[in-house]
Amino acid sequence: MVSPLDKKLLGDLGLMKGQVLTIALVVAAGIAAYVSLQSTFHSLEDSRDAYYERYRFGDVFVHVERAPESVHRRLEDLPGVARVYTRVLESVTLPVEGLVEPASGTIVSIPGGREPALNGLYLRQGRMPEPGRADEVLLLETFAEAHALEPGDTVPAVINGTLRRLRVVGIAMSPEFIFNMGPGGFGGDDEKFGVLWMDRSVLGPAFDMEGAFNDVVVRLSPGASEAEVIAQVDRLLDPYGTLGAQGRSKQTSNYVLESELAQLSNFATVIPVIFLGVAAFLLNVVLSRLVHLQRPEIATLKAVGYADREIGLHYLKLVSLIVLLGTVIGIGAGAYLGRAMTDLYSDYFRFPVLRYRVDVSVAVASVVVSLAAAFAGALVAVRRIAALPPAEAMRPAPPARYRRTLLERIGLDRFIGPVGRMILREIERRPLRTVLSALAIGMATGILVVGRFNFDAVEHLLDVTFQRSFREDATVAFVRPMPARVVHEIENMPGVLHAEGMRSVPVRARMGHRWRDATLNAYPAGGDLRRLVDVYERETPLPPRGVVLTRKLAEILDVDVGDEVAFEIREGERQTVSVPVSGLIEESFGLNAHIRDDALSRLLGEEPTVNMVLMRIDPLEWQELEQRLIDLPALATIFRPESLIRQFREQSGEMLMTMTLIITLFAATIAVGVVYNNARVALSMRSRDLASLRVLGFTRGEISTILLGELAIQVLLAIPIGLVVGRLLAEAVMSTVDPEMYRLAVVIEPKTYAFAAVVTLASGLLSALLVRRKLDRLDLIGVLKTRE
């Protein structure tokens, strides 16, 4: 048996269906964001934890030049150290066929066909290399996939200067390579970063590491202090050329994963808070109005003996139903979106198993959180019911009091007609509602701005990089440094208008205990094809002596102009050179050191060499030229910035479309929710006035102006607020990006602002049209017969 109150509830919901739906959708958007982000976060975190535990991921990592195996024991004896695993780890070049750019990689030793003690391996396919086999390796899954390599295939690798063809016997993954990025890389790149695992008895001798190691993984005892262990390890390994021990937080793959998890977790809080805040506000507005309209009914219920609690509960039930509808839609949509996000992540972060699941606790939490937000919004209105004595409730509410607005009091009333005054006085009577509405709609605008900002920032980066900095039409790269005369050979080829050589060297930049892997780029004097351009698009000249450092690198090393920085060259003779810093440059990505090529060859005591040749070309002769370039000896790759940009824009264009669609839906949900509900409430409050005006001979258009003018002001106030909010959100997003990888300027294109403003206006307009239809059906005669 349905109680009469519950019947009334269903009746009320039916009458309010537009409002019920728009508010439920705002709740749904918040819950969808919450569920999808939380469940993605938990799925990633659980997978990471399981992976780290099962495959014994280390806690502390340290690289040395060369330490005898006897040191292993002394490391293990350090307090706080539970387990020590020593190994040989070196950089390799992987000149795989068909590569667009040279692949770099790491080769890691494994102990005689056994599982490593720490940083274990998950063998995806094939088998472990047999002990003593010099030609067998395991290959990292992502690299294998990117090049379609399978067990039985061979992979070329330049190990300590010697090109070898190695047989892939197994495909593996490891917790230290969940995210793959080579040194100085530009984000993850499966194709251009590979990892090989090889038997230590073979790899050791190749790098002169027999009975010795150059890399250590340490597992801490429970409760041990990471900082103390690092200090002790550094002290112990100091004589062996340590580069300084690092905790997990600095380990590349873990670092990127952690940053992503932190960002997800932030978003999982901020976005739902915005949406549920807006929903709470809307419920407050709508419920306050409903309680006002139902004053006589409430009074009757009280008069016949219903308790305040029962009546209050009745309205809370109404709110709960709206919220639950939103929550159900939200959990469904969130579960779907979360799966899609997790699938995207599984291309990016490699786990043996990345199992997506929506935690029951997340679903329960979303119900609880949304109900709490709704009740917070509804509470004031519901408490007003309880405070109402039945006799008073039966009388109509006292007429609203109005006064002259500030604008009129300062004498601007001459410019405002009665209709304008009605609008302004209504706004001034409820300033908080106007401000909150404008803020809520502003959030929608802000979400639109921040959603598209990433693309603006990357476009700006592309622009600075390829319009101002990388000015060549085409580039050839070599697998090893070539004598400088190759530049002239290329310049003499038909179709080449101009050519310049460049040398880029992987280095470890070091100042005391501080170090970072970086790229040292050498440019010819008077070169024109590569320029140093900072994020503000200012050009920095390259001085004849010393190096210009990426400002971030200088900060990490704590050096300034005039200081000497040590560069450990990580190829060839592997010597260490000391170079004064002659300048700093604010660059968008990577950690670099820039130097003149003659200065570099003086430092290295070598003849000038190049490993890249940059060209200006005649596009009409490109095809024949490309054929000639392919025949160059030791060629690693040929690429054209133009095609890189085109490819990038194609990929990001699709992303931009999808992203724009999703955020537009989310933002429009808020904007429509706020404007529509405010309009409905305003219509309900003003229908009597509006009908009276119609009787007096005002047209439909004229009364629409009165009703919608107030909303138009809210929307117009919201847009500038939203643009500021969007910029602040963009800055907040940027601050969560790893500054050692990207330092994108917060650049927001005018067209992004315009897009956000237009979508907000359009949502407002759409809501206005929905309400306008109701305005046309205003009951003129009905309102004349009743007292408000």
Partner 1 sequence: MGRVTEVLEAQALTKVYRMGEVDVHALRGIDIALHEGELMVLLGVSGSGKSTLLNILGGLDTPSSGRVFYRGRELSGADERELTRYRRDHVGFVFQFYNLMPSLTARENVRLVTDIARRPLTPEEALALVGLGDRMDHFPAQLSGGEQQRVAIARAVAKQPDVLLCDEPTGALDYKTGILVLEVIERVNRELGTTTAVITHNAPIARMADRVVTLADGRIASEERNETRAHAEDLRW
- Could you list the beta-strand ranges (E) of 88-225: 89-94, 103-110, 122-126, 136-140, 154-159, 162-173, 193-199, 212-220
Considering only residues 401 to 420 of the shown chain, the ones binding partner 1 according to CB under 8 A are: 401-403, 417-419
d(C-alpha 149, C-alpha 97), whole Å: 11
At its nearest, how many Å lie between partner 1 and the CB of residue 388? 20
Residue 709 engages partner 1 in binding (rule: CB under 8 A): no
Helices (H), 696-779: 700-735, 750-776
23, 282 Cβ separation under 8 angstroms:
yes
At its nearest, how many Å lie between partner 1 and the CB of residue 689? 5
CA distances from 276 to 30, 374, 784 (A): 6, 8, 39
Residue 699 engages partner 1 in binding (rule: CB under 8 A): yes
Residue 421 engages partner 1 in binding (rule: CB under 8 A): yes
**Which of 304, 410, 432, 781 is the binder for partner 1 (CB under 8 A)?**
781
Q: Which stretch binds partner 1 (CB under 8 A): 38-46, 592-600, 655-663, 779-787?
A: 779-787
Residue 426 engages partner 1 in binding (rule: CB under 8 A): yes
- Could you list the beta-strand ranges (E) of 112-179: 122-126, 136-140, 154-159, 162-173
d(C-alpha 357, C-alpha 657), whole Å: 27
At its nearest, how many Å lie between partner 1 and the CB of residue 749? 42
Between 366 and 405, CB nearer to partner 1: 405
Q: Which stretch binds partner 1 (CB under 8 A): 351-359, 398-406, 528-536, 664-672?
A: 398-406
544, 597 Cβ separation under 8 angstroms:
no
- Which stretch of DSSP H or E encloses residue 518? strand 514-523
Residue 222 engages partner 1 in binding (rule: CB under 8 A): no
Burial of 701 (0-12, 13-18, 19+ CB in 10 A): exposed
**Beta-bridge partners for 220:** 81
Considering only residues 428 to 457 of the shown chain, the ones binding partner 1 according to CB under 8 A are: 429
348, 179 Cβ separation under 8 angstroms:
yes
Q: Which stretch binds partner 1 (CB under 8 A): 267-275, 377-385, 397-405, 722-730?
A: 397-405
The 591-620 site mask, x for binding partner 1 (CB under 8 A), equals ------------------------------
**Which of 698, 704, 727, 745 is the binder for partner 1 (CB under 8 A)?**
698
At its nearest, how many Å lie between partner 1 and the CB of residue 294? 20
The secondary structure of residue 546, as a DSSP letter, is S
Number of residues that bind partner 1 (CB under 8 A): 33
Residue 787 engages partner 1 in binding (rule: CB under 8 A): yes
Residue 741, amino acid:
M
Between 492 and 786, CB nearer to partner 1: 786
Residue 772 engages partner 1 in binding (rule: CB under 8 A): no
Secondary structure class of 746 (helix, strand, coil): coil
Residue 773 engages partner 1 in binding (rule: CB under 8 A): no
The secondary structure of residue 470, as a DSSP letter, is B
Between 350 and 686, CB nearer to partner 1: 686
Residue 692 engages partner 1 in binding (rule: CB under 8 A): yes
CA distances from 678 to 436, 502, 685, 708, 778 (A): 11, 64, 10, 10, 17
At its nearest, how many Å lie between partner 1 and the CB of residue 711? 16
80, 229 Cβ separation under 8 angstroms:
yes
Secondary structure class of 273 (helix, strand, coil): helix
Residue 425 engages partner 1 in binding (rule: CB under 8 A): yes
**Which of 98, 399, 494, 750 is the binder for partner 1 (CB under 8 A)?**
399
Between 316 and 419, CB nearer to partner 1: 419
User: Would you state the structure tokens that stand for residue 252, as one six-digit string?
Assistant: 């590349």
Residue 186 engages partner 1 in binding (rule: CB under 8 A): no
**Which of 410, 631, 696, 735 is the binder for partner 1 (CB under 8 A)?**
696
**Which of 163, 391, 695, 754 is the binder for partner 1 (CB under 8 A)?**
695
233, 174 Cβ separation under 8 angstroms:
no
Considering only residues 257 to 296 of the shown chain, the ones binding partner 1 according to CB under 8 A are: none
- Look at the block and give the residue holding tokens 């979303």: 366
* Binding site residues, partner 1, CB under 8 A: 399-403, 417-419, 421-422, 425-426, 429, 688-689, 692-700, 702, 780-781, 783-788
